[in-house]
Structure 1
Amino acid sequence: MKKILFILFSTGILFASSTINTNNTWGCITENKETEMNNAIGNKDEKAMNYLIDYGYCFILEKGQEISIIDDSNQYRTKIRIYPENKRPAEIWINSWYISK
């Protein structure tokens, strides 16, 4: 058991319960799609934003939604697991500043 915990902590893999701290933020299924969404928002490109959401690459998250942190080794981006009601959990990437730990 100690070896497993050591491996998990030494590789930056964390499983901690947290919440989303901002209304209507987003998370995406890959780091690249999360970057695409950031660029679309920065460029005010509604077609690109809608494409990413409509095709299931990105999801709108609500303030207070419970999540598990999987990997927060990157200062700006965190991999999380979300638990939508009546749906299967999903692992997505989100901007780190939208998470309350």
Structure 2
Amino acid sequence: MAWIVLVISGMLEAVWAAALSQSHGFQRRGPTVLFFVSLVLSMTGLAWAMTDLPTGTAYAVWVGIGATLTVLWGIATGQERPTLARIGLLLLLVGSVIGLKVVS
């Protein structure tokens, strides 16, 4: 169960990162509210998962999922370019996250 909560928390990390960008310095209400709600849920889930999983592994997986999804969101919305190097590095990151799950 801790792994499921951790994955969902990592996904919420991407949500709050994207919402933070869209809030334009907390000037827009909707994205600002989404940022704070997803931030609290993401951190709460990470904290809960860390009661069952090693801290380093949980944090690395959480960041890896959040970073990967945030970059993919940036590519999907046209804010970032999908270069071959970027895609390759994201695949390496995803492989590392999967590897941490396998060895845990």
Higher relative contact order (CA 8 A, sep 6+): 1
**Which TM bucket (shorter chain)?**
under 0.3
TM-score (norm 2): 0.26
Q: Which has the higher strand share?
A: 1
TM-score (norm 1): 0.26
Q: Which has the higher helix share?
A: 2
